[in-house]
Amino acid sequence: MEAILETKQLTHTYSAGTPFERSALQEVNFSAYAGEYLGIIGHTGSGKSTLIQHLNGLLKPTSGQVLFQGEDIWSDPKRTRRTRFQVGLVFQYPEYQLFEETVYKDIAFGPKNMGLDEQEIDRRVHEAAYFVGLRDDQLNKSPFELSGGQKRRVAIAGVIAMEPKVLILDEPTAGLDPVGVESILGNIRDYHQAHNATIILVSHSMEEVARTVDRLVVVNDGKIPFHGTPREVFCHGAELEAMGLGVPQMTRVFHRLKAMGVDIDPSVYTIEQAKAALLAKLGKGEL
Task: Name residues contacting Mg ion, limited to 18-77 (CB under 5 A).
Answer: 48-49
- Number of residues binding to ligand ADP, judged by CB under 6 A: 12
Considering beta carbons, is residue 6 or 171 the nearer one to Mg ion?
171
- Please tell me what DSSP assigns to residue 220: B
Considering beta carbons, is residue 67 or 169 the nearer one to Mg ion?
169
Q: Are 58 and 41 in contact (CB under 8 A)?
A: no
Which one of 7, 26, 31, 46 is in contact with ligand ADP (CB under 6 A)?
46
| Piece in contact with ligand ADP (CB under 6 A), picked from 37-45, 192-200, 254-262, 271-279 | 37-45
Which one of 3, 8, 11, 14 is in contact with ligand ADP (CB under 6 A)?
14
Residue 207 burial class via C-beta count within 10 angstroms: exposed 0-12, middle 13-18, buried 19 and up: middle
The answer to whether residue 50 forms part of the interface with ligand ADP (CB under 6 A) is yes
CA atoms within 13 A on the CB side of 52: 27
**Helices 148-160 and 178-195: crossing angle, nearest 10°?**
10
- With CB cut-offs between 5 and 8 Å by kind, which of Mg ion, ligand ADP, none does residue 46 bind? ligand ADP
Which one of 4, 10, 24, 160 is in contact with ligand ADP (CB under 6 A)?
24
Considering beta carbons, is residue 150 or 220 the nearer one to ligand ADP?
220
For residue 134, give the amino acid letter: L
Task: Name residues contacting ligand ADP, limited to 98-117 (CB under 6 A).
Answer: none
Q: 10 Å Cβ neighbour count for 182?
A: 12
The answer to whether residue 56 forms part of the interface with ligand ADP (CB under 6 A) is no
Sheet holding 71-72: strands in order across? 22-33, 3-14, 63-68, 71-72
- With CB cut-offs between 5 and 8 Å by kind, which of ligand ADP, Mg ion, none does residue 22 bind? ligand ADP
- With CB cut-offs between 5 and 8 Å by kind, which of Mg ion, ligand ADP, none does residue 47 bind? ligand ADP
Q: Are 243 and 43 in contact (CB under 8 A)?
A: yes
Q: Angle CA(253)–CA(40)–CA(172) in degrees, nearest 5?
A: 95
| Piece in contact with ligand ADP (CB under 6 A), picked from 40-48, 94-102, 124-132, 249-257 | 40-48
User: In terms of Cα–Cα distance, which of 164, 171, 32 is closest to 91?
Assistant: 171
Which one of 9, 16, 22, 60 is in contact with ligand ADP (CB under 6 A)?
22
C-alpha pair distances (Å), 247 with each of 46, 212, 223, 238, 268: 17, 15, 19, 9, 10
The answer to whether residue 152 forms part of the interface with ligand ADP (CB under 6 A) is no
Binding site for ligand ADP (CB under 6 A): 14-15, 22, 24, 42, 44-50
Binding site for Mg ion (CB under 5 A): 48-49
